[in-house]
A and B are shown apart, each in its own frame.
Chain A
């Protein structure tokens, strides 16, 4: 019984792999080939590459990403809470306020640490 169920997953897997590989293979067979130096160049928004490509760069925005994630997840929690609010009553309101307060402390912390400033 279990094996039988896996057959469908296997078919789906094969289909997915085929879907990804098919254009590559078809392109390889059908497309005309014209090599040129500009085609072989490193792709950087159509411009010529300047300097070393393996440089380190500042990933300052990752803190923004984390902050965004925190409040994104907050929304995810707020939706089901809002839907079920009628039946949950005062207790759920209090719990959500506590949750939001804790997140607010997180924001205040980030602010106080100066991570919201773009340097």
Chain B
């Protein structure tokens, strides 16, 4: 069998990932080789600046394919790279840019205080985690997806436990690691079942293999299929911290250094939600629910219940929190619940992509969280704690930052005129406009619950504001914030305000990104673009709903994994 070596073209599309990986090595080596005699604080600053330079270089290199006239981003044609394992195109480029911008803020926040003496390793792990996130968004195939997911989380386990002299940092890291590795194992088992059932690891090919046009196998009576769906949901449920797989999140967010918590809440969640949408819609779309019947077995019902539980539990648990980072952790759980409603809308609205609102929400949510966690970093630097009551009197002492936090919190509640409102509005109205009447009934109660939850969330977000503006200052006063904290807070408040007043540019952009083929359930081979169709070998002697059960899993090798190389869509 001839081996198709990837062409140079593919590597040019991977330029940001390659630059970040090598830059991570570079940063570590510089730390070890040149800066050994400097003080920890100096090294932190020097290496931080270097890491930001690396992230900026990666940001610039996104446009390398365009500059070399290789990509077709302008015409929004998506590429299959490395024999169909990695996606290139508008969606990936834009999300990569977003992740890198968030990363720059996270790195900048890390220099706020001297959180570790191992600065080289710390920044390298942040950079490598980002490589995992970018590839996770771009992966189009189960093995790549799993590897990149692990690349992201393993780096994050370590940086969570990075504040070695803090007991709770180690505790948070350990909990994150134990929960994470168990859920990864379950996830991998689910993926292996999917491979066994369809004979392929490509997402689009799986979607096509399960499509009603090819087989009439639903989930009814299909034990292996049901197990696969459940295990995949467990794996993703952990990564996006959905109830009941959320227990690690509050401890990890509270224990991790504030910049790392910010990265867990934004980058990790953003990449995981996009990956979840991709797998559920592109690969498992045909199993969402029975043909024309939303109440028949399928994962829509399960995800709807998870979504309802997640937003309700997250909000009620956040009400009881006194610790700022813990409260933000529960609020991020609740936001994952809202976003699952959007994910459901994507799969029900087959044909036309409805992923735009979810992407919009992700952008707005990430920006707001960077701002909120930078306040936590500031608090921790000067007071060594992150209790909400330590914020007392802050708003009056620093009026500009106070106003920015006010905007952020109101945007997170979803008050009209701010970006958070439009995020919720677009997502919920998209959910209500999808499908026929029976779908509408399902979505109606989910959206109703979401709105009620937004009201509940107001209580705990306002508590932060009450501490900042209405309480007299107590305890040790906070020192003036560093420039990086100011920039992060003002920047994220600006995002909340600007996109709150003019949501149009961003929503146009996210709608364009949502045109990506990964958000469309393939129903005809024509929609698969460059992916060759996979054969599910029909069993002549088996009845319809046992066909898959008697397939490759039980009866030995029957569906050969397709070795078909991707037809080169770039050949001109």
Contact A109 B28 (CB under 8 A): yes
Bound state CA distance, A91 and B2, in angstroms? 13
Nearest chain B CB to A22's CB is how many angstroms away? 34
Instruction: Tell me which of A1, A2, A91, A113 contacts B5 (CB under 8 A).
Output: A91
**Chain B residues near A1 (CB-CB < 8 A):** 554-555
* Known A-B contacts A1-B554, A1-B555; A87 and B29 likewise in contact (beta carbons under 8 Å): no
**Chain B residues near A87 (CB-CB < 8 A):** 2-3
Instruction: Tell me which of A88, A89, A91, A109 contacts B29 (CB under 8 A).
Output: A109
Chain B interface residue count, Cβ-Cβ cutoff 8 angstroms:
11
Contact B29 A108 (CB under 8 A): yes
**Chain B residues near A83 (CB-CB < 8 A):** none
**In this assembly, does A112 line the interface, its C-beta being within 8 Å of a C-beta of chain B?**
yes
Chain A interface residue count, Cβ-Cβ cutoff 8 angstroms:
13
Instruction: Tell me which of B5, B33, B36 contacts A89 (CB under 8 A).
Output: B5
Contact A113 B29 (CB under 8 A): no
Interface residues of A in 78-119 (CB under 8 A from B): 87-89, 91-92, 102, 105, 108-109, 112-113
**Chain B residues near A2 (CB-CB < 8 A):** 554
Bound state CA distance, A59 and B29, in angstroms? 26
Contact B25 A102 (CB under 8 A): yes
- Which B residue sits closest to A95, measured CB to CB? B5
* Known A-B contacts A1-B554, A102-B25; A112 and B5 likewise in contact (beta carbons under 8 Å): no
**In this assembly, does B60 line the interface, its C-beta being within 8 Å of a C-beta of chain A?**
no
**Chain B residues near A105 (CB-CB < 8 A):** 25, 28-29
- Which B residue sits closest to A87, measured CB to CB? B3
Nearest chain A CB to B9's CB is how many angstroms away? 14
**In this assembly, does B470 line the interface, its C-beta being within 8 Å of a C-beta of chain A?**
no
Interface residues of B in 516-572 (CB under 8 A from A): 554-555
- Which A residue sits closest to B6, measured CB to CB? A91
Nearest chain B CB to A20's CB is how many angstroms away? 27
Nearest chain B CB to A43's CB is how many angstroms away? 33
Nearest chain B CB to A2's CB is how many angstroms away? 6
Nearest chain A CB to B8's CB is how many angstroms away? 10
- Which A residue sits closest to B555, measured CB to CB? A1
**Chain B residues near A113 (CB-CB < 8 A):** 32
Instruction: Tell me which of A88, A108, A109, A112 contacts B3 (CB under 8 A).
Output: A88
Bound state CA distance, A105 and B124, in angstroms? 13
Interface residues of A in 1-49 (CB under 8 A from B): 1-2
Contact B33 A112 (CB under 8 A): yes
- Which A residue sits closest to B1, measured CB to CB? A87
Bound state CA distance, A109 and B3, in angstroms? 34
Nearest chain B CB to A3's CB is how many angstroms away? 11
* Known A-B contacts A1-B554, A1-B555, A2-B554; A109 and B32 likewise in contact (beta carbons under 8 Å): yes
- Which A residue sits closest to B549, measured CB to CB? A2
**Chain A residues near B33 (CB-CB < 8 A):** 112
- Which A residue sits closest to B554, measured CB to CB? A2
Bound state CA distance, A86 and B555, in angstroms? 37
**Chain A residues near B5 (CB-CB < 8 A):** 89, 91-92
Bound state CA distance, A105 and B33, in angstroms? 12
- Which B residue sits closest to A91, measured CB to CB? B5
**Chain A residues near B28 (CB-CB < 8 A):** 105, 109
Interface residues of B in 11-31 (CB under 8 A from A): 25, 28-29
Bound state CA distance, A2 and B29, in angstroms? 54
- Which B residue sits closest to A1, measured CB to CB? B554
- Which A residue sits closest to B7, measured CB to CB? A91
Interface residues of A in 48-91 (CB under 8 A from B): 87-89, 91
Bound state CA distance, A113 and B29, in angstroms? 10
Nearest chain A CB to B108's CB is how many angstroms away? 25
- In the complex, 22 of the A-B residue pairs with CB atoms within 8 angstroms, ordered by the A residue number, are A1-B554, A1-B555, A2-B554, A87-B2, A87-B3, A88-B3, A89-B5, A91-B5, A92-B5, A105-B25, A105-B28, A105-B29, A108-B29, A108-B32, A109-B28, A109-B29, A109-B32, A112-B29, A112-B32, A112-B33, A112-B36, A113-B32
> What is A's interface to B at a CB cutoff of 8 Å?
1-2, 87-89, 91-92, 102, 105, 108-109, 112-113
Known contacts A105-B29, A108-B29; can you find 19 more A-B pairs with CB under 8 A? A1-B554, A1-B555, A2-B554, A87-B2, A87-B3, A88-B3, A89-B5, A91-B5, A92-B5, A102-B25, A105-B25, A105-B28, A108-B32, A109-B32, A112-B29, A112-B32, A112-B33, A112-B36, A113-B32
Closest CB pairs A-B (n = 6): A112-B32, A91-B5, A105-B25, A2-B554, A109-B32, A109-B28
